[in-house]
């Protein structure tokens, strides 16, 4: 699989290389970062720690490929063909890639297979379809009779995608797919914790026929590699997914060169059960909403809002279902909840659990590390549920990013909406009700980029995804994603020069009499607002 590596699915060490200017390369200074297997804490492999020279070479290659290379100048249908072929290769290698993703990210193999590797090829194929759409459209200009207008969609330029560790391949596709579909050149920086499937994406795109230099993958810590990429004036766009605190830093660094910046950041999503909801289905949705990938998803439904009079029944159902969840090795198809990504992340989540207890929340389940011998070396935590949580507690305000569910109660729907909206985040939310019209009215009041009704975590490549407030800027997926990676140009044509010849004497020559009158129904051209 990986260049110069033994296959990670067979237990050998993975020695990754970067993909720069159409070549597999090691770090120029010979540095490499160990990558751990979260299930046992052992070294899974190594990824190059890019030097400033390596980063410069990647930007040089992307800049050259955009300014003088073929990809931005190819016909849309030809770009579409490459992306569709890459999607097919992803499908053909889905089983091996799912195993690699499971080992690297600690994701249960069932989830890696039926979520990550089911969606990634579908979404890349969709971006191929978007690439084939016409890049020009005529626009009517009735206020300027006789003129003609064309709206042209053009690529932005050199785009940097900084992908997170929780959905490494899928979120790489969300950045790379629309960027390439729009005709840009791309530099992908995966998380230092989960670089390997991004490197395989480079191999697949190359095999699919992407011109050399159009796509680069550089690896290394964000504080070194990411900061250099974001600050480089030759980079035209940065798309970052990660925490809100780091997102603020990315935005500040991007401001120096006024580059376009897309941010998909943190969340503290509310999962709102209305009084008439089917509690069996709603609690199924609550379990799925918070414990998928051990709660390490930015839209995880970490706050469950429950009618006060139904609190006890909801808790009973949640505890019954949570106790049936199997915490285990990611490679087992029987596993429901795998490890957290690192020991640092586990300690961070444990700190939140301790704060919940200290603040007076009632710990109903979990909160401990499993003591099973085969799990002791990994970064595991049991699924955790708190009751009697109030909106002012840390576990109700801050993003935990782990398998921790906070149950809050409410007396009225108005109060529930106020609690749901009462955070700095606005990434996602859900509403559970047997009355869809009522649920829609509540959904309309929730300040979140995605609101599910009687569901959670479902994604459609045809629909945009992104956050309100401090959950981000811009949208991924849907045709809106292509807009984010495109510049829009208006080409104005005045075939016979009529408007210029009329405007010239009005604006530049002295006139003895009143200004010229308009002809027909058209006003005389000139400034309308001061």
pLDDT digits (tens, 9 = 90+) for 12-64: 799 999 999 999 999 999 999 999 999 999 999 999 999 999 999 999 999 99
Multiple choice CATH, 270-461, 3.30.70.3190, 3.30.830.10, 3.20.20.70, 3.40.309.10 = 3.40.309.10
Domain ranges in the chain? 8-265+478-487, 270-461
Instruction: Scan for tokens 């609101």, then name that residue.
Output: 451
Q: For the domain 8-265+478-487, what is the CATH superfamily, name and number?
A: Aldehyde Dehydrogenase; Chain A, domain 1 (3.40.605.10)
As a whole number of angstroms, the distance between CA 471 and CA 297 comes to 13
348 near 361, Cβ under 8 Å? no
pLDDT of the residue at 502: 80
With a CB cutoff of 8 Å and minimum separation 6, the contacts of 249 are none
Asked whether residue 289 carries a pLDDT value surpassing 50, the answer given is yes
CA dist 39 → 14, 318, 343 (Å): 16, 26, 11
Asked whether residue 524 carries a pLDDT value surpassing 70, the answer given is no
pLDDT cut 90: percent of the chain above it: 88
Mean pLDDT (whole number) for 312-322: 98
Mean pLDDT (whole number) for 249-275: 97
CA dist 294 → 114, 159, 284, 325 (Å): 16, 31, 15, 11
Instruction: Scan for tokens 């950041």, then name that residue.
Output: 265
- Per-residue pLDDT tens over the stretch 330-386: 999 999 999 999 999 999 999 999 999 999 999 999 999 999 999 999 999 999 999
Half-sphere exposure of residue 180: CA atoms within 13 angstroms, side-chain side:
35
- Per-residue pLDDT tens over the stretch 470-513: 999 999 999 999 999 999 999 999 888 887 788 777 788 655 55
As a whole number of angstroms, the distance between CA 341 and CA 501 comes to 67
pLDDT of the residue at 66: 98
pLDDT of the residue at 508: 80
Asked whether residue 517 carries a pLDDT value surpassing 60, the answer given is no
- Per-residue pLDDT tens over the stretch 102-123: 999 999 999 999 999 999 999 9
As a whole number of angstroms, the distance between CA 423 and CA 238 comes to 26
CA dist 128 → 78, 161, 427 (Å): 10, 18, 26
pLDDT of the residue at 302: 98
Enzyme catalytic residues: 264, 298
> What six digits make up the tokens of 123?
């979404």
* Fold equal for 8-265+478-487 and 270-461: no
Name which of 45-59, 153-167, 436-450, 489-503 the model is least confident about.
489-503
8 near 37, Cβ under 8 Å? no
Asked whether residue 5 carries a pLDDT value surpassing 50, the answer given is no
pLDDT of the residue at 529: 42
Quick check: helix, strand or coil at residue 168?
helix
> Which pTM was predicted?
0.93
pLDDT of the residue at 501: 81
């Amino acid at each position: 699989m990986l260049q110069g590596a033994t296959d990670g699915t067979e237990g050998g060490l993975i020695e990754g290389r970067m993909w720069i200017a159409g070549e597999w390369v090691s770090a120029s200074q010979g540095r490499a970062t160990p990558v751990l297997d979260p299930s046992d804490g052992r070294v899974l492999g190594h990824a190059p720690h890019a030097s400033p020279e390596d980063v410069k070479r990647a930007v040089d290659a992307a800049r050259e490929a955009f300014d003088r290379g073929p990809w931005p100048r190819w016909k849309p249908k030809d770009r579409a063909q490459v992306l569709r072929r890459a999607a097919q290769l992803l499908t053909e290698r889905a089983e091996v890639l799912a195993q690699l993703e499971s080992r690297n990210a600690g994701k249960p193999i069932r989830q890696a297979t039926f979520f990550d590797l089911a969606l990634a090829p579908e979404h890349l194929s969709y971006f191929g379809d978007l690439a084939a759409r016409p890049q020009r459209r005529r626009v009517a200009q009735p206020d300027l009779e006789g003129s003609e207008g064309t709206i042209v969609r053009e690529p932005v330029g050199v785009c940097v995608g900084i992908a997170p560790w929780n959905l490494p391949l899928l979120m790489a596709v969300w950045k790379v797919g629309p960027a390439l579909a729009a005709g840009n050149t791309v530099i992908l920086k995966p998380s230092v914790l989960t670089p390997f499937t991004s490197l395989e994406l480079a191999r697949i795109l190359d095999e699919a026929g992407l011109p050399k230099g159009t796509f680069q993958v550089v690896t290394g810590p964000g504080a070194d590699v990411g900061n250099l990429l974001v600050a480089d004036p030759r980079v035209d766009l940065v798309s970052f997914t990660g925490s809100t605190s780091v997102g603020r830093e990315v935005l500040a660094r991007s401001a120096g060169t006024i580059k376009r910046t897309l941010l998909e950041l943190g969340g503290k999503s509310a999962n709102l059960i209305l009084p008439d909801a089917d509690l069996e289905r709603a609690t199924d949705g609550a379990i799925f909403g918070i414990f998928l990938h051990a709660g390490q998803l930015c839209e995880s439904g970490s706050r469950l809002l429950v009618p006060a009079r139904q609190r006890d029944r909801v808790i009973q159902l949640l505890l019954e279902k949570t106790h049936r969840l199997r915490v285990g090795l990611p490679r087992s198809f029987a596993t429901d909840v795998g490890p957290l990504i690192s020991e640092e992340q586990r300690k961070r989540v444990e700190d939140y659990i301790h704060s919940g207890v200290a603040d007076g929340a009632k710990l109903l389940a979990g909160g401990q590390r499993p003591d099973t011998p085969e799990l002791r070396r990994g970064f595991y935590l049991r699924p955790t549920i708190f009751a009697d949580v109030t909106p002012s507690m840390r576990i109700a305000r801050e993003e935990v990013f782990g398998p921790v569910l906070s149950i809050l109660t409410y007396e009225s729907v108005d109060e529930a909406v106020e609690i749901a909206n009462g955070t700095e985040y606005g990434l996602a939310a859900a509403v559970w009700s047997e009355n869809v019209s009522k649920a829609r009215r509540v959904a309309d009041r929730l300040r979140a980029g995605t609101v599910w009704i009687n569901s959670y975590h479902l994604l459609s490549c045809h629909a945009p995804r992104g956050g309100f407030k401090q959950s981000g800027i811009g949208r991924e997926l849907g045709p809106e994603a292509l807009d984010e990676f495109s510049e829009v140009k208006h080409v104005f044509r005045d075939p016979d020069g009529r408007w210029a010849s009329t405007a010239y004497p009005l604006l530049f020559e002295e006139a003895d009499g009143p200004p010229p009158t308009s002809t027909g129904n058209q006003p005389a051209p000139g400034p309308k607002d001061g």
